[in-house]
């Protein structure tokens, strides 16, 4: 059995039900092992022997965390015995240094594997390009590695675990099974969300019995995820592929490129958030609360707010393990202090933040892929966010002068649309076939912008007919309504569940029928591969 | 006093009842969306299903495959030039498991002399889902025919007519006039290497061959010209396969007499041939069929009078390309 997506018959109709069945019939003590065995089996189905990589990661963080714990216990014992403050300080300093070295060893192992597998080919290709540039005839051979599934996701989980132990947010786990399940839980292994040990590990290992409410709510969430993926994302895939693949050959104008960018952003959102719905729904069935990865991102009023609502667990990971450590480092603190004196309170903290943002966005770009277009994608967001911080005091003054209230609806709508447009351009870079292609599309967008091909009907020749467009609009309206309800603090599933059976059953049944009939699947449709599974 | 049911048990039973109701709904939908549902102009990819609109036992040659098949072979041209009836049953990015289903479905209605299997789909890697999908589609036809909703008219359901399906005037061929040249010209460099077939694909090829033999039809492998999808290592693999199963094989990528000009005859840098490339390839391929299989010339057969009118529609569709030549 080879899984390519959570939204597949193999996963939804065979694997998941089989795990649920085993989990139900076996006693509580065995249940965590059922999940662990299922997770390793799932991994094996996809990556076979590459499972060794995740096993190395699991063993390494398990041992590193225990080592850190030992150092901390030793430090505490020595501090207790110390006679004066000076001694205590010296013990703490020495232990702190040792702990940091152990932590760095753990980071080196886990990020090292990630770097070698994912980035070394890119690095050596660029070394060769450089050698060519300086007219050297020397070339290095470019290595090629097969990557295990979910490498970019579980490596970050591994770092978060040892870092949290180092920071004493959590205790090192003595149970390697629990660490292994936290790292490899099958619903999150392919596309995240990036979980934290404190949030999921205990619950995963508890072996709690299945509850009717969890199972049905999980199933509903899965059904909604499937709807988003196969009715919207797979349908949009036809037109998006056409526009992105052939824009140069067919000389598409800026209007069509913009349409492609918008539709790709919707496709990416419905594909990724739809899959995450299936992931979270699967976890919910076992009573595990997997962290949310999306919070109505298109209601964001700025790029930085967008990233707090889109792929949330990646954003918070970068915040906690890159942004904070950089801004809180000694040299940065010193710099901020100096800058405050020279630049004032408004601009003083900015240089340190901008340096930290640069690190975050460089890593964010590279995390998405080893290619210059991804670095460009990261730098695009870095530029937007930095620019936003720089002009904020100015724009505040300007708005006050023009008597525009930031909190009034028209301004809010303006900022939401502005943010969405900037996001779409970013995703266009993301989906391009390379830096050259991305720059070409940007150029067309700004130099040859017309709505001609959208209004003269040629857009209908790109793979979607009128029927498709109606279904897209209706389904997007459903997704938007769900988003608005959630934005207002209401849970649509709770709302439906509170209605009588003769109301809620037809609603659920309609969801099933709608997806079966209007799904973009079968002969002639080419479903998108999970976009985030390749990262 | 009657004993009350345990509320937890009641909930679970209700849940099971819902799942059963949902399955019943899929069965019900399959009554509306199936092979006999009228008019399928609206099917997303009508080409493979259009064969069902043809009267039974009237097609001499069937060609199966993915987009390489429908962009390369033109049945109307073959009729005009050689006088036998043919149909291309293919869809974009088709998996070999789906080809297997189409062969079974088609041979239940038609009794051709020869069945051509375009070889590109043989190399398409399948996921575990593909055979499962085919099984589900067989049990619940709605999964296969759900796209009929686009032109759905409940009034017509289960009417006993022959023309359930939209009669495809190009007989499965797709007309593409775009010119997007390919720079790759020496893609067929001879080599001893072999490109292995993805796991389990061979079993579908075997199944297709067996289905053909069971119906007394000769199966033949054909590789359509493509600088992107084809190479000598794949040619070698298919040659081995042809030998193993005792099947004829023609690789059009090696037939220089076709006279393809990759700077003009492709619509997507060599991935597929365009109308101009298809016209040249079809002329050559039609001649190959005529010389290798005993097919009657039906152009004067009154039972095939409709085929003699097809050129009008064909000329209409392809008119735009005349100015481009």
What DSSP line would sit under B286-317, residue for residue?
Answer: HHHHHHHS-----TT-GGGGGGGGHHHHHHHH
Tell me how crowded residue B36 is: count the other CB atoms within 10 A of its CB. Answer: 17
Judged by CB atoms closer than 8 Å, whether chains meet at B45 and A523 is answered as: yes
Query: A239 vs chain B: nearest CA distance in angstroms?
Result: 14
- Which residues of chain B are within 8 Å of residue A501 when distances are taken between CB atoms? 14
| Helical axes A234-246 vs A254-285, angle rounded to 10° | 140
pLDDT at position B155 is: 52
Of B10 and B86, the one with more pLDDT: B86
- Token couple for A418: 């502005």
Nearest CA in chain B to A8: B129
The whole-angstrom separation of Cα A527 and Cα A525 is 6
Candidate ranges A395-404, A411-420, B151-160; pick with highest mean pLDDT? A411-420
Of A523 and A343, the one with more pLDDT: A343
The whole-angstrom separation of Cα B138 and Cα B211 is 17
Strand partners, B116: B63, B220
Indicate whether B194 belongs to any domain: yes
A119 to chain B, any CB pair closer than 8 A? The answer is no
* DSSP letter (8 states) at residue B42: T
| Gyration radius (Cα) of chain A, Å | 25
pLDDT score of A527 more than 80: no
Cβ neighbourhood burial of A141 (10 Å; 0-12, 13-18, 19+): exposed
Query: A126 vs chain B: nearest CA distance in angstroms?
Result: 26
pLDDT score of A530 more than 70: no
Name all contacts of A469-473 with Cβ < 8 Å and 24+ positions apart: A471/A231, A471/A235, A471/A518, A472/A232, A472/A235, A472/A236
If pLDDT is split at 50, 70 and 90, which confidence band does A250 have? low
Strand partners, A392: none
Q: Which of B187, B209, B227 is nearest to B104 (CA)?
A: B209
Indicate whether B22 belongs to any domain: no
- Which residues of chain A are within 8 Å of residue B48 when distances are taken between CB atoms? 523
Q: How many CA atoms lie within 13 A of A190 on its CB side?
A: 26
- Asked, as a colleague might, if the bond just before A37 is cis with ω within 30 of 0, I would say no
Domain extent listing, chain A: 9-209, 210-290+432-535, 299-427
The whole-angstrom separation of Cα A224 and Cα A233 is 13
pLDDT at position A128 is: 85
The whole-angstrom separation of Cα B180 and Cα B274 is 9
Question: Strand pairing of B248-251 and B218-223?
Answer: parallel
SS3 A485: helix
A124 to chain B, any CB pair closer than 8 A? The answer is no
Instruction: Tell me the mean pLDDT in the region B83-101.
Output: 88
Number of structural domains in chain B? 1
The whole-angstrom separation of Cα A160 and Cα A138 is 40
pLDDT at position B52 is: 76
Nearest CA in chain B to A529: B127
pLDDT score of B164 more than 50: no
From chain A residues 194-233, the ones with a CB under 8 A of any chain B CB are 212, 215-216
pLDDT at position B147 is: 77
Distances from the Cα of B221 to the Cα of B18, B108, B248, B274, angstroms: 48, 21, 6, 21
Q: Which of B172, B25, B51, B37 is nearest to B108 (CA)?
A: B51
- The H or E element spanning position B63 is strand B61-65
Instruction: Tell me the mean pLDDT in the region A205-218.
Output: 90
Nearest CA in chain B to A501: B14
A474 to chain B, any CB pair closer than 8 A? The answer is no
Phi and psi, residue A249, nearest 5°? -60, -40
Dump pLDDT digits (tens) for B209-237.
Answer: 999 999 999 999 999 999 999 999 999 99
CA dihedral B252, B255, B259, B265 (to 10 degrees): 20
pLDDT at position A169 is: 92
- Which residues of chain B are within 8 Å of residue A465 when distances are taken between CB atoms? 150
Query: A347 vs chain B: nearest CA distance in angstroms?
Result: 53
pLDDT score of B63 more than 70: yes
- Which residues of chain A are within 8 Å of residue B92 when distances are taken between CB atoms? 524, 526
pLDDT score of B321 more than 90: no
B81: domain CATH number is: 3.40.50.1110
Q: Which of B11, B128, B148 is the best residue to mutate to test the A interface, defined by the most A CB atoms within 10 Å of its own CB?
A: B128
Residues 6+ apart with CB under 8 A from A524: B43, B44, B45, B91, B92
Phi and psi, residue B259, nearest 5°? 75, 35
The whole-angstrom separation of Cα B74 and Cα B76 is 6
Query: Which residue's structure tokens are 């061959």?
Result: B209
Instruction: Tell me the mean pLDDT in the region B85-94.
Output: 87
Judged by CB atoms closer than 8 Å, whether chains meet at B147 and A4 is answered as: no
Query: A3 vs chain B: nearest CA distance in angstroms?
Result: 7
Provide the mean pLDDT of chain B: 84
Q: Tell me which residue in A8, A13, A518 faces B149 most closely, judged by beta carbons.
A: A518
- Which residues of chain B are within 8 Å of residue A520 when distances are taken between CB atoms? 44
Distances from the Cα of B6 to the Cα of A21, A169, B9, B12, B187, angstroms: 21, 43, 5, 10, 71
Indicate whether B224 belongs to any domain: yes
Phi and psi, residue B125, nearest 5°? -70, 130
Q: Tell me which residue in B22, B150, B268 faces A467 most closely, judged by beta carbons.
A: B150
pLDDT at position B48 is: 61
A453-472 burial, b if ≥16 CB within 10 A, otherwise e?
Answer: beeeeebeebbbeeebeebb
The whole-angstrom separation of Cα A240 and Cα A263 is 7
pLDDT at position B101 is: 85
The whole-angstrom separation of Cα B83 and Cα B77 is 9
- Which residues of chain B are within 8 Å of residue A249 when distances are taken between CB atoms? 180, 268-269
Indicate whether B31 belongs to any domain: no
Judged by CB atoms closer than 8 Å, whether chains meet at B33 and A249 is answered as: no
Pairs across A and B, CB distance < 8 A: 88
**Considering only A294-303, A323-332, B54-63, B167-176, which range has the smallest mean pLDDT?**
B167-176
pLDDT score of B179 more than 60: yes
From chain B residues 228-257, the ones with a CB under 8 A of any chain A CB are none
Of B185 and A489, the one with more pLDDT: A489
pLDDT at position A195 is: 94
Indicate whether B10 belongs to any domain: no
Judged by CB atoms closer than 8 Å, whether chains meet at B132 and A526 is answered as: no
pLDDT at position A3 is: 65
**Considering only A232-236, B42-46, B175-179, which range has the smallest mean pLDDT?**
B42-46
Dump pLDDT digits (tens) for A448-471.
Answer: 777 777 777 677 777 777 888 899
Nearest CA in chain A to B11: A212
Instruction: Tell me the mean pLDDT in the region A59-65.
Output: 95
pLDDT at position B186 is: 85
pLDDT score of B160 more than 70: no
What range does the domain containing B111 cover?
47-322
Query: B196 vs chain A: nearest CA distance in angstroms?
Result: 18
Provide the mean pLDDT of chain A: 88
Candidate ranges A45-49, A172-176, A438-442; pick with highest mean pLDDT? A172-176
**Considering only A38-52, A137-151, A298-312, A475-489, which range has the smallest mean pLDDT?**
A137-151
pLDDT at position B42 is: 38
Distance between first and last Cα of chain A: 22
A527 to chain B, any CB pair closer than 8 A? The answer is no
Of A473 and A339, the one with more pLDDT: A473
Query: Which residue's structure tokens are 């051979």?
Result: A141
Candidate ranges B84-93, B176-185, B213-222; pick with highest mean pLDDT? B213-222
pLDDT score of B152 more than 60: no
pLDDT at position A275 is: 93
Handedness of CA A42, A47, A52, A57 (dihedral sign): negative
What is the percent of chain A where pLDDT is above 70? 96
Instruction: Tell me the mean pLDDT in the region B251-273.
Output: 90
Instruction: Tell me the mean pLDDT in the region B285-302.
Output: 92
Judged by CB atoms closer than 8 Å, whether chains meet at A523 and B33 is answered as: no
If pLDDT is split at 50, 70 and 90, which confidence band does A534 have? low
The whole-angstrom separation of Cα A504 and Cα A494 is 11
- Token couple for A281: 């729904």
Indicate whether B298 belongs to any domain: yes
Tell me how crowded residue B177 is: count the other CB atoms within 10 A of its CB. Answer: 17
pLDDT score of A11 more than 80: yes
pLDDT at position B86 is: 95
pLDDT score of A82 more than 70: yes
Judged by CB atoms closer than 8 Å, whether chains meet at A10 and B149 is answered as: no
Instruction: Tell me the mean pLDDT in the region A157-163.
Output: 95
Indicate whether B96 belongs to any domain: yes
Dump pLDDT digits (tens) for B18-38.
Answer: 889 988 988 888 877 766 554
CA dihedral A119, A121, A125, A131 (to 10 degrees): 90
Q: Which of A99, A156, A145, A105 is nearest to A121 (CA)?
A: A145
pLDDT score of B166 more than 60: no
The whole-angstrom separation of Cα B124 and Cα B68 is 12
**Considering only A216-220, A472-476, B134-138, B241-245, which range has the smallest mean pLDDT?**
B134-138
Nearest CA in chain B to A249: B180
Dump pLDDT digits (tens) for B238-253.
Answer: 999 999 999 999 999 9
Q: How many CA atoms lie within 13 A of A127 on its CB side?
A: 12
A500 to chain B, any CB pair closer than 8 A? The answer is no
Q: Tell me which residue in B12, B91, B136 faces A9 most closely, judged by beta carbons.
A: B136
B91 to chain A, any CB pair closer than 8 A? The answer is yes
pLDDT score of A34 more than 90: yes
- Which residues of chain A are within 8 Å of residue B25 when distances are taken between CB atoms? 509, 512-513
Instruction: Tell me the mean pLDDT in the region A52-69.
Output: 94
pLDDT score of B158 more than 80: no
pLDDT at position B43 is: 41
Instruction: Tell me the mean pLDDT in the region B143-153.
Output: 71
Instruction: Tell me the mean pLDDT in the region B91-118.
Output: 89
- Which residues of chain A are within 8 Å of residue B268 when distances are taken between CB atoms? 246, 249
Judged by CB atoms closer than 8 Å, whether chains meet at B93 and A526 is answered as: yes
- Token couple for A199: 């949030």
- Which residues of chain A are within 8 Å of residue B70 when distances are taken between CB atoms? none
């Amino acid at each position: 059995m080879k899984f390519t997506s959570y939204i597949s018959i193999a996963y939804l109709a065979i694997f998941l039900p089989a795990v649920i069945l085993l989990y139900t019939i076996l006693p509580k003590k065995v249940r965590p092992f059922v999940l662990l065995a299922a997770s390793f089996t799932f991994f094996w189905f996809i990556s076979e022997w590459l499972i060794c990589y995740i096993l190395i990661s699991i063993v390494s963080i398990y041992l590193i965390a225990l080592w850190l714990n030992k150092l901390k216990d030793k430090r505490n014992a020595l501090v207790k015995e110390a006679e004066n403050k000076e001694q205590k300080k010296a013990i703490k300093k020495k232990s702190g240094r040792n702990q940091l070295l152990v932590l760095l060893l753990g980071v080196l192992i886990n990020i090292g594997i990630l770097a070698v597998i994912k980035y070394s080919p890119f690095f050596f290709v660029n070394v060769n390009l450089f050698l060519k540039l300086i007219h050297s005839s020397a070339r290095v051979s470019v290595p090629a590695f097969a990557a295990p599934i979910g490498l970019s996701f579980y490596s970050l989980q591994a770092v978060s675990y040892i870092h949290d132990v180092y920071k004493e947010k959590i205790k090192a786990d003595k149970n390697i099974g629990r660490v292994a399940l936290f790292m490899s839980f099958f619903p999150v292994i392919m596309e995240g969300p990036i979980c934290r040990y404190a949030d999921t590990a205990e619950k995963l290992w508890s072996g709690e019995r299945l509850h009717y409410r969890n199972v049905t709510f999980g199933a509903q969430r899965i059904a909604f995820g499937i709807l988003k993926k196969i009715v919207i994302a797979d349908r949009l895939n036809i037109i998006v592929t056409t526009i992105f693949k052939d824009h140069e050959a067919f000389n598409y104008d800026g209007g069509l490129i913009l349409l492609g960018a918008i539709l790709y952003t919707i496709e990416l959102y419905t594909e990724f958030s739809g899959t995450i719905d299936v992931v979270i729904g699967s976890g919910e069935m076992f009573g595990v609360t997997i962290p949310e990865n999306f919070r109505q991102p298109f209601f964001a009023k700025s790029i930085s707010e967008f990233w707090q609502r889109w792929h949330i667990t990646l954003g918070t990971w970068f915040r906690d393990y890159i942004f904070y450590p950089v801004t809180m480092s000694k040299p940065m603190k010193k710099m901020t202090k100096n800058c405050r004196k020279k630049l004032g309170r408004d601009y003083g903290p900015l240089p340190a933040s901008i340096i930290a943002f640069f690190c975050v966005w460089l890593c964010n770009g590279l995390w998405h892929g080893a290619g210059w277009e991804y670095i460009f994608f990261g730098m695009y967001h870095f530029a937007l966010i930095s620019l936003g911080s720089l002009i904020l005091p100015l724009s505040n003054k300007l708005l006050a002068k023009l008597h525009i209230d930031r909190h009034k609806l028209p301004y809010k709508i303006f900022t939401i649309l502005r943010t969405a447009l900037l996001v779409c351009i970013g995703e266009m870079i993301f989906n391009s076939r390379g830096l050259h292609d991305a720059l070409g599309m940007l150029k067309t967008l700004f130099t040859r912008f017309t709505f001609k091909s959208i209004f003269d009907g040629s857009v209908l020749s790109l793979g979607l007919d009128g029927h498709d467009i109606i279904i897209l609009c209706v389904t997007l309206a459903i997704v938007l309504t769900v988003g608005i309800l959630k934005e207002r603090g209401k849970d649509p599933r709770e709302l439906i569940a509170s209605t009588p059976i003769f109301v809620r059953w037809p609603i659920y049944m309609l969801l099933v029928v709608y997806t079966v009939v209007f799904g973009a699947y079968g002969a002639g449709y080419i479903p998108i591969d999970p976009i985030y599974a390749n990262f | 006093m009657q004993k009350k049911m345990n509320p937890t048990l009641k909930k679970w039973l209700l849940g099971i009842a819902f799942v059963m109701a949902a399955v019943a709904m899929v069965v019900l939908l399959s009554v509306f969306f199936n092979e006999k549902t009228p008019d399928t102009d609206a099917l997303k990819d009508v080409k493979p299903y259009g064969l069902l609109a043809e009267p039974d036992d009237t097609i001499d040659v069937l060609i199966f495959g993915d987009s390489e098949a429908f962009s390369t072979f033109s049945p109307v041209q073959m009729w005009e030039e050689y006088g036998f009836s043919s149909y291309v049953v293919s869809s974009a990015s088709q998996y070999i498991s789906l080809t297997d289903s189409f062969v079974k479905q088609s041979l239940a209605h038609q009794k051709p002399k020869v069945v051509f299997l375009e070889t590109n789909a043989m190399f398409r890697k399948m996921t575990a889902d593909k055979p499962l999908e085919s099984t589900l589609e067989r049990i619940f036809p709605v999964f296969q025919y759900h796209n009929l909703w686009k032109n759905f008219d409940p009034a017509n359901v289960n009417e006993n007519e022959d023309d359930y399906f939209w009669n495809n005037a190009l007989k499965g061929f797709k007309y593409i006039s775009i010119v997007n040249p390919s720079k790759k010209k020496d893609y067929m460099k001879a080599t001893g290497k072999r490109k292995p077939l993805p796991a389990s694909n061979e079993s579908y090829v075997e199944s297709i061959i067996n289905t053909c033999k069971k119906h007394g039809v000769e199966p033949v492998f054909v590789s359509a010209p493509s600088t992107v999808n084809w190479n000598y290592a794949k040619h070698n693999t298919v040659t081995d396969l042809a030998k193993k199963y005792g099947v004829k094989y023609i690789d059009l990528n090696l037939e220089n007499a076709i006279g393809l000009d990759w700077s003009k005859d492709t619509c997507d840098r060599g991935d597929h041939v365009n109308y101009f490339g298809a016209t040249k390839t079809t002329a050559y391929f039609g001649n190959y069929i005529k010389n290798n299989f005993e097919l009657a010339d039906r152009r004067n057969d009154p039972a095939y009078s409709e085929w003699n009118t097809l050129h009008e529609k064909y000329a209409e569709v392809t008119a735009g390309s005349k100015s481009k030549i």
